[in-house]
Amino acid sequence: MHEMSLAEGILELVEQAAQAQGFSRVREINLEIGALAGVETEALAFCLESVLKGSLAEGARVNFAAVPGEGWCLNCGTTVPIAALYDPCPRCGGYQVQATGGTQMRVKDLLVE
């Protein structure tokens, strides 16, 4: 979804950090994308390539760290792994699972010079 907006959001965070911390080139961008965040990493990589062009991060290597999905099963009263929002609880097979982890999309850190 809306990967172009996300790519622009990433560039903005990078530019803000460059101002605040005084660097002029970004060689690596490390992202954390949750399995339940609704982001296609391939589409995001594609958008980033265009968005970063002409910026201080042009040509930077972009690493995607996948964060596994987690949910709270109301039946079991415990945290269970889930791969999608509509997945049943792997313990009880019920669908009373509220996503609790793997919904984030964050810029974790940068390799800069």
Partner 1 sequence: MCNVCGCGQGEMRIEGEAPTEPAHVHPHEHPHDHTHGHLHRHADGTVHSHAHAGDHLHYGLGPAHAHAPGLSQARMVSIEQDILARNNAYAETNRRWLAERGVLALNLVSSPGAGKTTLLVQTIEQLRGRVPMAVIEGDQQTSLDAERIRATGVRAIQVNTGKGCHLDAHMVGHALERLDLPEDGLLLIENVGNLVCPAGFDLGEAHKVVILSVTEGEDKPLKYPDMFHAADLMLINKIDLLPYVDFDVERCIDYARRVNPQLQVLRVSARTGEGLAAWIDWIETGRARARAAREDTVNALKRRIAELEARLAAKG
Residue 53 is given by DSSP the state: T
Q: How far is CA 94 from the centre of its chain?
A: 28
First-to-last C-alpha distance (Å) of the chain = 32
91 or 108: whose CB is closer to partner 1?
108
Answer yes or no whether residue 35 interacts with partner 1 by CB under 8 A: no
Answer yes or no whether residue 2 interacts with partner 1 by CB under 8 A: yes
Answer yes or no whether residue 82 interacts with partner 1 by CB under 8 A: no
Answer yes or no whether residue 86 interacts with partner 1 by CB under 8 A: yes
Among 35, 67, 80, 99, binds partner 1 (CB under 8 A): 99
Query: In which residue are the tokens 């101002």 written?
Result: 19
Answer yes or no whether residue 91 interacts with partner 1 by CB under 8 A: no
Q: What share of the chain is helix, strand, coil (3-state, %, to 5)?
A: 25, 35, 40
Please give the structure tokens belonging to residue 48: 């980033």
Alpha helices in the chain (DSSP H): 3-21, 41-52
Question: Interface mask (CB under 8 A) for partner 1, residues 41-80, using x and -?
Answer: xx--xx--xxx-xx----xxxxx-x--------x------
Nearest to 112 by CA among 54, 29, 45: 29
Question: Which residues make up the interface to partner 1 (CB under 8 A)?
Answer: 1-2, 5-6, 8-10, 12-14, 17, 21, 23, 27-28, 30-31, 38, 41-42, 45-46, 49-51, 53-54, 59-63, 65, 74, 84-86, 88, 95-99, 104-113
